[in-house]
Amino acid sequence: MTQLPQSTDRKMGLVIDLDTCVGCHACVISCKGWNTENYGAPLSDQNPYGADPSGTFLNRVHSYEVQPPEGHAQLIHFPKSCLHCEDAPCVTVCPTGASYKRSEDGIVLVNESDCIGCGLCAWACPYGARELDLAEGVMKKCTLCVDRIYNDNLPEVDRVPSCVRTCPAGARHFGDLGDPDSAVSQLVAERGGMDLMPEMGTKPVNKYLPPRPKDRIEDQIDILAPLLAPVADEPKGFIAWLDKALEKL
Amino acid sequence: MIHQQPKLDTSPKVSDEVRKTTCYMCACRCGINVHMKNGKVAYIEGNRDHPVNKGVLCAKGSAGIMQVNAPSRLRAPLKRVGPRGSGEFQEITWDEALEIATGWLKPIRENDPSKLAFFTGRDQSQSFTSFWAQNFGTPNYAAHGGFCSVNMAAAGIYTMGGAFWEFGQPDWDHTKLFILFGVAEDHDSNPIKMGIGRIKARGARVVGVNPIRSGYNAVADDWYGITPGTDGLLILSLIHVLMKAGKIDLDYLARYTNAPCLVIENPGADDHGLLLRDADGKVQVIDRATGEPAPFDRPGVRPDLTGTHVQNGQTCHTVMHKTVNRYLSEEYTPEAVADRCGIPAARIRALAAEIARVAFDEAFEIEQEWTDFRGETHKVMKGRPVSFHSMRGISAHANGFQTCRALHLLQILLGTVEVPGGFRFKPPYPKPVEAHPKPHCKATPGAPLDGPHLGFVRGPEDLALKPDGSPARIDKAFTWENPMSSHGLMHMVISNAHAGDPYKIDTLFMYMANMSWNSTMNTRGVIDMLTDKDESGEYVIPRIIYSDAYSSEMVAYADLILPDTTYLERHDCISLLDRPICEADGAADAIRWPVIEPDRDVRGFQTVLVQLANKLKLPGFTDENGAAKYTDYADYIVNHQRKPGIGPLAGFRGAAGDKAGRGEVNPDQLDRYIANGGFFVEHVPDAARYYKPWNTAYQDWAVGMGLYDSPQPYLFQLYSEPMRRFQLAAEGHGERQPPDHLRARISQRLDPLPIWYETDQHGNEGFTVNALTQRPMAMYHSWGTQNAWLRQLHGRNPLYVPTKIMREQGLEDGDWARVTSPHGQIVVPVMEMAALNDNTVWTWNAIGKRKGAWALEPDAPEATKGFLLNHLIHELLPPKGDGLRWANSDPVTGQAAWFDLKVKIEKVAGPEEMTESQPAFDPIKSPVGTGPKTLAWKVGE
């Protein structure tokens, strides 16, 4: 019902490194703080001190256990926010034009004054990346901190989304994924960055870097075996070896 | 609808003002930018210039805004008017509160200062609070280190003059193999996350040794899911394999450690096993150039690792000789330890091989000339890019001290401490035991204590014993039961005070310590001790004063509440005299300052201590005429001098504010800190960056900064002589003798070379599963769960159970299980976790809350389904029938052995068949009510 732009000048987005994310939730709360105070209505909380507290978050970290066929189970931390899809179904489904994708940078936003809180966009999003704010009755989503990344009142180094600025492990990267020479595009190329659920046909801009293979230390044992060849079997022999080794120092 | 875009202001005003201070959402002490709008806190982000966090900030830090507006904040001083535990209080004025406290404390000080027990929990102002306690004159002072991680700190200092966390860090710039031991993710958490991110970005390998694969272990390239309490055994096996293969750094050992020092061989005599010394007291080595004994530090001496020396017809061998004999033993082969550690022998060998490969095949050099303490100049700094680090887990066992020693032995044998690529100290460390105080405990009515409470004993002569041999301290720190208890034993204070063992006290004064809930073992028992009355109807612990900023579970059990401020409403100093914020390349300290003023009748606890000191006319706080020297804590921070020219803050000293470390008082010092972003840093010169304990450039710089009074080069202590002195006492030598029932334990456990032993399993028959707790990265202690944003991340704490036990017990996610230990039982919800040691269960610590506390509603999940493992852990071991009380603590340091807990598990109900964890406690009456039903916290227009 709402049209997407024909194309966008840039494709601004996030690259999230699943090999490095320790699941600390720093990005979740930094996002909550910035976006409660800034763009649009505050992110509200219901029953904040009671049973079943629930609030609006634009970014959440989920944790999944993975059991490979061989070896130990693994725990993957998976941060998730709006992926600013090129073919964003949340925009096209919007009955009022409140949801839109910016032609200059591809950021998907909600114009809160036009949002009627019908929730169709949340149904349309295959990633569950939109949340209806219960206090305000409007749809909230990741803005890619559109009020930070061009903000002349911030030092240039701080013109990044708050989640990127705060991530202690450096697992979040921000840039133009439409430019193959950008640092984020290079990172995606080097590390085999992936789309989330490409089969949905949404063409997400955000990319995920997959975890590196784990628990391979024993695979090196053959090559490394000579490293551990004993210099002596008994303490007495070892002391004799020590003496000789010391002479060489 | 065709594509259309509204006009958007992409440059809105961010804030009216940024105030830079120091976070206190955990012990990390990051720098924060507090954005202010309309005089209120609008947003908190990390300070990019700050040495600790360099701009990043964790979830806790960003959620600080919800701490400052928390409905659980106490509002005014409270006087108890109902029975203890009832929560019946009356609000009083500060004048009245200070009068009451002074009325209790003054007679104690005049008659017997030891009747006050003053313990300060998660205190970050210990150099100040200890100064107060010392001037009061009580021997009974400590913070929470004894129940937290004294094994880690003390083992590090006794072995190499520093430890992990605030004491040191991996060389993140150069390390290629980072091995992280131990459960827990809190200490030094942002620096560790930043470091792991950096080394992974350049492809370095991260290995985690931890029963639980969460957090840092989730991103580790290799995970060793070790059986809890066996880390020391694994480490000694790695040492065995590496040593046998000759993969140890002989040059490093000969130059910088006591490996070449000679051990006196004189069986039956009182010097047997001590290090050979010359007339000046210098330890002796054999000089390879001459073959003769020489003092270790003589210019030009080349210490011989295999030297021998005949004295009184006996041949004295080196520490190296003893080390080789012990660790080449077959008892440490990977095959011998594999089953107990829960790790196959091949994987132990693979880890050893990787350590050997990186340490020796990838050794490198930094072009930087430096001169060592023997006067030898080295053209380069040699690097070994293997670094080790450890979290609390390995230390929270009754074999934790020796386990931490073993880890340090491993990294020293590899020559990877204080070298490029290895582990690096942060100023004021390295600092040998000799540069630390000894403990003091002599109380005199009306007078200060004879010196600092806490310190590092060198031998039995330094124990805190009375002339009759009984413990001088209420917590029995520095006694034969735990001789090297450098941080005290906070977890024994209430139990001992209640038992009147070693004596009764009058007033218990605590700060930031939730002793009636998650900060104690045996929670129910401790609540009973706090409320118990004697035959005359008086409380067994007669008076309790407590200071906290929040309505914690402990509030109801105190008689007088002194409400503290939040961290954004106060002055603090994170001092080089205490636990500073230094990085390996710089000495740094920081302040907090009131970026907002309290809207309640509360005062910073340290300021209240100054006011109490002035009323009590404590020396140190008042002059000879009784006039106050300091009006409040800020005044103390600026004007107090520990020694001439050295005060709580090292930066901007001197009349012009241009002196670092040493310098006269600068009245504008706090303003200079505020202008500088709340911190001060002085960088270590390039030639002083590595080899600090032996590097003359570092030693001279440290003296200039006031970290030492004179250069303090020293040797790493593979062999710990202080421990040997306690063994000699246990063998019958010396004036001070242990009681007979402790002789064997001291002989065995205070071995001067690292050992591993299974902890006391008495009473554990039938309890075979290890049970642990850790804190999530997004929470710290009890404070986090009241936080409206953080509790949405971690408001629930199921018991995580490995797949194997889930199947054996027929458990499904959400089922309720009874968890039983030799001490007690709980019934709690379970959740399966596969990435977990097969025989270990765990939960998040301190999520469970008591109904009525923390301004949470009574049906909050923390108060219904949340639970503590503390109910299963007793501060004493099960009775052995000998009539003695054996503490559940490390026999060397007294550290609380939280992680020695063994349990059994059985299903009791399905998910819907129960609604509350057991034991369920009665609600306590809240002094603050509960929080609002909705929150939309926007302070700007």
Residue of A nearest to B328 (CA): A235
Q: Which of B591, B564, B561 is nearest to B578 (CA)?
A: B591
Strand A12-17 with A207-209, pairing: parallel
DSSP states along B161-204: S--STTSEEE-TTT-SEEEEESS-S-TTHHHHHHHHHHHHHTT-
Give this complex's ipTM.
0.97
Cα B87 from Cα B677, distance rounded (Å): 41
- Answer whether B59 sits within 8 Å of A77, measured CB to CB: no
Tell me chain B's radius of gyration from C-alpha atoms: 27
Contacts of A149 in chain B (CB under 8 A): 10
Contacts of A73 in chain B (CB under 8 A): 213, 803, 834-836
Most distant CA pair in chain A: distance in Å?
Answer: 86
Residue of B nearest to A147 (CA): B10
Contacts of A12 in chain B (CB under 8 A): none
Query: Which CATH architecture does the domain made up of A12-217 adopt?
Result: 2-Layer Sandwich (3.30)
CA dihedral A16, A21, A25, A30 (to 10 degrees): -50
A-facing residues of B in 397-436 (CB < 8 A) are none
Q: What is the mean pLDDT of chain A?
A: 95
Work out the angle at residue B824's Cα, subtended by the Cα atoms of residues B821 and B828, and round it to the nearest 5 degrees: 85
Cα B43 from Cα B26, distance rounded (Å): 18
- 3-state per-residue secondary structure call for B674-698: HHCCCEEEEECCHHHCCCHHHEHHH
Q: Which residues contact B451 (CB under 8 A, 6 or more apart)?
A: B134, B437, B438, B440
Cα B147 from Cα B583, distance rounded (Å): 26
Q: Which residues of chain B have pLDDT under 50?
A: none
Nearest-Cα distance to chain B for A214, in Å, is: 5
Interface test with A, best of B1, B34, B240, B414 (most A CBs within 10 A): B1
Instruction: Judge whether B881 is closer than 8 Å to chain A, CB to CB.
Output: no
Q: Which residues contact A55 (CB under 8 A, 6 or more apart)?
A: A32, A43, A44, A45, A46, A48, B788, B789, B792, B935
Residue of A nearest to B355 (CA): A227
Give residue-wise pLDDT tens across range B102-125. 999 999 999 999 999 999 988 889
Whether the CB-CB separation of A59 and A99 falls below 8 Å is answered with: no
The answer on pLDDT for A173 being more than 80 is: yes
Q: Which of B828, B222, B215 is nearest to A63 (CA)?
A: B215
Interface test with B, best of A44, A103, A147, A217 (most B CBs within 10 A): A217
Q: Which of B707, B704, B660, B702 is nearest to B681 (CA)?
A: B660
Q: Which of B173, B177, B172, B169 is nearest to B362 (CA)?
A: B177
- 3-state per-residue secondary structure call for B870-939: HHHCCCECCCCCCCCCCECECCCCCCECHHHCEEEEEEEECHHHCCCCECCCCCCCCCCCCCCCEECCCC
Residue of A nearest to B189 (CA): A168
Pinpoint the residues of chain A covered by CATH 3.30.70.20. 12-217
Nearest-Cα distance to chain A for B626, in Å, is: 48
Q: Which CATH number fits domain B769-913: 2.40.40.20, 3.10.20.740, 3.40.50.2000, 1.10.3720.10?
A: 2.40.40.20
Nearest-Cα distance to chain A for B13, in Å, is: 6
What residue segments make up the domains of chain B, in order of their start? 769-913
Q: Which of B573, B515, B517 is nearest to B546 (CA)?
A: B515
**Structure tokens that stand for A222 in this block:** 């053959």
Q: Using a CB cutoff of 8 Å and minimum separation of 24, what contacts does B191-196 make? A: B191/B28, B191/B52, B191/B53, B191/B583, B192/B216, B192/B389, B193/A22, B193/A24, B193/A168, B193/A169, B193/B56, B193/B58, B193/B777, B194/A168, B194/A169, B194/A170, B194/B53, B194/B54, B194/B56, B195/B169, B195/B170, B196/A20, B196/A22, B196/A169
Q: Which residues contact B850 (CB under 8 A, 6 or more apart)?
A: B517, B553, B863, B921, B923, B924
The answer on pLDDT for A249 being more than 90 is: no
- Answer whether A50 sits within 8 Å of B45, measured CB to CB: no
Instruction: Judge whether B349 is closer than 8 Å to chain A, CB to CB.
Output: yes
Interface test with A, best of B193, B335, B777 (most A CBs within 10 A): B193
Interface test with A, best of B354, B935, B938 (most A CBs within 10 A): B935
Q: Which residues contact B268 (CB under 8 A, 6 or more apart)?
A: none
How far apart, in Å, are the Cα atoms of A30 and each of B21, B26, B45, B110?
Answer: 17, 16, 8, 52
Q: Which residues contact B751 (CB under 8 A, 6 or more apart)?
A: B402, B723, B727
Cα B636 from Cα B410, distance rounded (Å): 43
DSSP states along B600-629: SS---HHHHHHHHHHHHT-BTTB-TTS-BS
**Structure tokens that stand for B785 in this block:** 């769960």
Q: Which residues contact A81 (CB under 8 A, 6 or more apart)?
A: A14, A31, A58, A59, A60, A129, A141, A142, A163, A206
Tokens 């570092």 belong to which residue? B698
Dihedral-angle region of residue B273 (phi above 0 means left; psi in -120 to 50 means alpha; beta otherwise): left
Strand B293-295 with B309-311, pairing: unpaired
- Answer whether A29 sits within 8 Å of B63, measured CB to CB: yes
Whether the CB-CB separation of B801 and B770 falls below 8 Å is answered with: no
The answer on pLDDT for A222 being more than 70 is: no
Contacts of A153 in chain B (CB under 8 A): 11-14
Residue of A nearest to B185 (CA): A24
Give the nearest partner residue to B215 out of A6, A23, A43, using CB atoms: A23
For the sheet containing B205-209, what is the strand order?
B222-224, B205-209, B177-181, B386-390
- Answer whether A48 sits within 8 Å of B218, measured CB to CB: no
Contacts of A70 in chain B (CB under 8 A): none
Give the nearest partner residue to B218 out of A75, A101, A136, using CB atoms: A75
Residue B399 burial class via C-beta count within 10 angstroms: exposed 0-12, middle 13-18, buried 19 and up: buried
pLDDT (0 to 100) of residue A223? 56
**Structure tokens that stand for B864 in this block:** 């219904």
Interhelix angle for B319-327 vs B231-244, to 10°? 110
Give the nearest partner residue to B8 out of A54, A146, A152, using CB atoms: A146
Residue of A nearest to B320 (CA): A239
Give the nearest partner residue to A5 out of B3, B193, B194, using CB atoms: B3
**Secondary structure letter of residue B361 according to DSSP:** I
Contacts of A241 in chain B (CB under 8 A): 246
Contacts of A135 in chain B (CB under 8 A): 934, 936
Give residue-wise pLDDT tens across range B647-657. 999 999 999 99
Cα B429 from Cα B714, distance rounded (Å): 12
pLDDT (0 to 100) of residue B70? 96
Strand A108-110 with A99-101, pairing: antiparallel
Buried b (16+ CB within 10 A) or exposed e, B120-130: bbbbbbbbbbb
Cα B743 from Cα B729, distance rounded (Å): 8
Contacts of A53 in chain B (CB under 8 A): 788, 791-792, 795
Residue of B nearest to A241 (CA): B246
pLDDT (0 to 100) of residue A221? 64
Residue of B nearest to A103 (CA): B5
Residue of B nearest to A240 (CA): B306
**Structure tokens that stand for B137 in this block:** 């004159």
Cβ of B636: how many Cβ atoms within 10 Å?
25
